[in-house]
Amino acid sequence: MKILIVEDEPKTGDYLRQGLAEAGFVVDLARDGLDGLHLALNGDYALVVLDVMLPGLDGWGVLQTLRRGGREMPVLFLTARDQVEDRVRGLDLGADDYLVKPFAFSELLARVRTLLRRGRSKEPDVLRAADLELDLLRRRVLRGGQRIDLTAKEFALLELLLRRQGEVLPRSLIASQVWDMNFDSDTNVIEVAVRRLRAKVDDAFEPKLIRTVRGMGYVLEVPEC
């Protein structure tokens, strides 16, 4: 699940990016309003964390342009401006929540997860394939009723495979969605991650769900009997 942070203050931006990445999200960071607007209009983001005071284009302008363009992803304003008028203006423009600096990261994370739950109200909270279950809200994975502990990247990889169940996913797509990087044919990071994920969710169970399609990528599907 991808989140966009638009924040020009370097320490705050880096802190948010690291914290949200450690919480299991794929995070992009823009340092000014124009770059943030470009990414938000062209990227597939589940949520935007948006500062108000930005160079190039302020947060009001970014939000207004997004809503006029039909982009309805949740937007959380994160700003030092604590005036009631500012909060009302942000909400009137279409912001979904408003958090004033300084803030506790735990509160930010709780608000992010709440907004994402609202945004996914029509989507299932649990993804399934055969006896494999991935609980998006509890961040929990079960296979045959047995709890399986995954790292944040393994969880994100399994979520992607389950959401695109039955579809062969090329390594380039997996690299961009899970690792937020361009695919380098010389690296084996994806192969290693898939192998470790298989060891946890497939090796001790039947049927085998994750399959390599040579020269193309990987697919998670329930085999036909």
102-143 pLDDT, tens digit each: 888 989 999 999 898 876 545 567 889 999 999 987 889 999
| CATH 3.40.50.2300 domain extents, the chain | 2-119
CATH number for the segment(s) 126-220: 1.10.10.10
| CATH 1.10.10.10 domain extents, the chain | 126-220
Window from 21-25, 69-73, 94-98 with minimum mean pLDDT:
69-73
- 122: how many CB neighbours lie within 10 A of its CB? 5
* C-alpha–C-alpha distance, residues 217 and 40, integer Å: 28
Task: List the 132-135 sheet strands across, edge first.
Answer: 126-129, 132-135, 140-143, 146-148
Q: What is the pTM of this model?
A: 0.56
Mean model confidence pLDDT for the chain: 88
pLDDT, tens digit, for every residue of 155-194? 999 999 998 888 888 888 888 778 766 655 567 888 999 9
The pLDDT of residue 210: 96
Closest CA to 100 of 77, 68, 123: 77
Residue 38: both structure tokens together: 């470009």
Q: Which residue has the higher pLDDT, 181 or 72?
A: 72
* C-alpha–C-alpha distance, residues 104 and 151, integer Å: 24
CATH class of 2-119: alpha beta
Closest CA to 77 of 90, 68, 65: 90
* C-alpha–C-alpha distance, residues 137 and 54, integer Å: 32
